């Protein structure tokens, strides 16, 4: 697993994560971006597939992202059981 590298805001997370489909974003109620101060952080959900660390191999990932800079929080991934339902909206 990669460790956080302050020089590259996206260089961390689960190893070999692969996403499928289109990410779904909605405005988050999390406060300002810790990188640039933008007030419009987005909560992003995406389907993660072929992830060996999940029992089912698939899941739904959720993270916060900033539309004004490269900031993205670490992704929290929840396994989907045996199937791959669509991303929650």
Q: What is the pTM of this model?
A: 0.72
Q: pLDDT tens digits, residue range 65-81?
A: 999 999 988 888 888 87
Residue 12: its pLDDT value, please?
54
Instruction: Decide: 59 and 51 in contact? Cβ < 8 Å.
Output: yes
Q: So where are the chain's domains?
A: 18-79
List C-alpha distances in Å: 41 to 5, 32, 33, 52, 53: 21, 7, 6, 29, 28
pLDDT of residue 13: 58
Query: What is the model's pLDDT at position 80?
Result: 80
Residue 87 pLDDT greater than 70, yes or no: no
Predicted confidence (pLDDT) per residue in 6-52, tens digit: 555 455 556 667 888 899 999 998 889 999 999 999 999 999 888 87
Beta-carbon contacts of 37 under 8 Å, excluding residues fewer than 6 positions away, are none
């Amino acid at each position: 697993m990669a460790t956080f590298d302050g020089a590259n805001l996206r260089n961390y997370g689960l190893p070999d994560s692969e996403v499928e489909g289109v990410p779904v974003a909605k405005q988050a109620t999390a406060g300002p971006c810790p990188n640039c101060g933008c007030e419009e952080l987005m909560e992003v959900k995406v389907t993660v597939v072929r992830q060996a660390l999940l029992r089912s191999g698939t899941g739904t990932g959720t993270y916060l992202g900033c539309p004004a800079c490269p900031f993205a929080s670490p992704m929290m991934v929840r396994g989907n059981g045996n199937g791959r339902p669509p991303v929650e909206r």
